């Protein structure tokens, strides 16, 4: 079994928009992301504001990771915005974490910052992530 990941060039995203839009929609629907639309996410990737990575297992698409690089004055964050599986295949969390670390280094990020459903806290604690509180007030 071989696993590999590749960043998808924005032009290739546009050429394969149907496939990527389905996977993005699946993640947005499952996680109830009211902040984003499928069209908006695709536009951010095509405009190179976000990055799209495909994870392949034995040459077959397993899942995608969409990231955002957020530079700050004193540091730079890699934020995984969307992770979406093909079908019901299980995500190899060890490999996904390795990918995120390598992507962060590639983009000169000092941290990986993310959130999601409560179950992710327990999973990422074993990879050395700290649980920091986030509060949100809707206006």
Domain spans of the chain?
3-125
Q: Cα torsion at 41, 44, 46, 51 (round to 10°)? A: -90
Q: Given a cut of 80, is residue 17 above it in pLDDT?
A: yes
> Which position has the higher pLDDT, 71 or 134?
71
Tell me what pLDDT residue 32 has: 64
Tell me what pLDDT residue 29 has: 83
Tell me what pLDDT residue 109 has: 96
Q: What is the mean pLDDT of the chain?
A: 87
Mark 100-131 as b/e (b = at least 16 C-beta within 10 Å): beebbeeeebeebbbeeeeeeeeebeeeebee
CB 112 within 8 A of CB 98: no
DSSP one-letter code for 20: H
> Which position has the higher pLDDT, 89 or 10?
10
The pLDDT confidence band at residue 117, using thresholds 50, 70 and 90, is: low
**What is the pTM (predicted TM-score) of this model?**
0.87
What is the arithmetic mean of pLDDT over 57-82? 94
Q: Cα torsion at 118, 119, 123, 124 (round to 10°)? A: -20
Q: Given a cut of 90, is residue 45 above it in pLDDT?
A: yes
pLDDT digits (tens, 9 = 90+) for 96-116: 999 999 999 999 999 999 876
Q: Given a cut of 80, is residue 57 above it in pLDDT?
A: yes
Reported CATH class of domain 3-125: alpha beta
Q: Given a cut of 70, is residue 80 above it in pLDDT?
A: yes
């Amino acid at each position: 079994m071989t696993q590999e990941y590749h960043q998808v060039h924005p032009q290739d995203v546009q050429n394969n928009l149907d496939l990527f839009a389905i996977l993005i929609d699946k993640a947005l629907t499952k996680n109830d992301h009211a902040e984003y639309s499928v069209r908006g996410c695709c536009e951010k990737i095509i405009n190179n504001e976000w990055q799209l990575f495909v994870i392949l297992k034995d040459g077959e698409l397993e899942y995608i990771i969409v990231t955002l690089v957020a530079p700050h004055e004193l540091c730079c964050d890699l934020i995984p915005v969307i992770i979406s599986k093909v079908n019901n295949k299980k995500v190899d969390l060890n490999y996904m974490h390795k990918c995120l670390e390598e992507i962060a280094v590639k983009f000169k990020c000092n941290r990986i910052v993310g959130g999601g459903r409560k179950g992710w806290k327990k999973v990422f604690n074993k990879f050395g992530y700290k649980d920091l509180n986030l509060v949100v007030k809707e206006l």
